Structure 1
């Protein structure tokens, strides 16, 4: 009788684990075409921008609740409406190098209802001094 109880307990654990694993893989998911772009050398005061393409590779609509940059020199623009499963969208990020010098890595955080709730993309550049 004790063996039957152990067997039922093990089966219950297996089913519970399987259900939680399926739950973790369902929902919205973000897949980026690329997560960073390197502009190389730019001159102080230059403005550069890049459009990051993303796809909702999950099974439910993706809702981006916020996109935040590490400083005021980086400005993101993102879709406010839900992104259906299998559909794509764009996040445009602009970087203003005024007042910056040297290697820059402007990180943008994307907050959403995806299985990974915080994703990051970045604009990389090396800001050179202006020559008169």
Structure 2
């Protein structure tokens, strides 16, 4: 009877531990605010905006890379190390080709030591 109670307690402890680990493993340790930016610009011009990389974790967040799939977007950081509960501005510049018009959807990715390791900022807009 005592062995049965101990096994039941161990199973309950294992379930609680597993549940806690599942909840914390998926938790983001940083956020990009806002993650989607809307714009409308005349053809032949560029668009600049600032988003913020916020450290939601307790450890220092290290930003190791800012990347875009096209040469039309550039991200600029003043600091690549973000203290806990702090944020740094990420300046995003979008310069479409002179012939580009219409709806535009572009992404710039941020790689860090946080979870998830890569997050993106989406620029959605119109070049008219």
* TM-score, with structure 2 as normaliser: 0.79
Superimposed CA distance per residue, residues 49-93 of structure 1 (whole angstroms, 9 cap, x where no aligned partner): 111023212111111111111210111112453210011101111
Q: Which residue of 2 aligns with 1:84?
A: 83
Aligned pairs for 1:1-132 (under 5 A) are 3-4=4-5, 6-7=7-8, 9-14=10-15, 16-17=17-18, 20-21=21-22, 24=25, 29-40=29-40, 42-98=41-97, 99-128=99-128
User: 1:104 offset after TM fit, Å?
Assistant: 0.5
**What secondary structure sits across from 2:65 in the alignment?**
strand
Structure 1 alignment gaps of length 5 or more: none
Say how many residue pairs are matched.
126
Shift of 1:3: 2.4
| Greater than 6 Å deviation, 4+ residue runs | none
Compute the RMSD of aligned alpha carbons: 2.6
Q: TM-score, normalised by structure 1?
A: 0.77
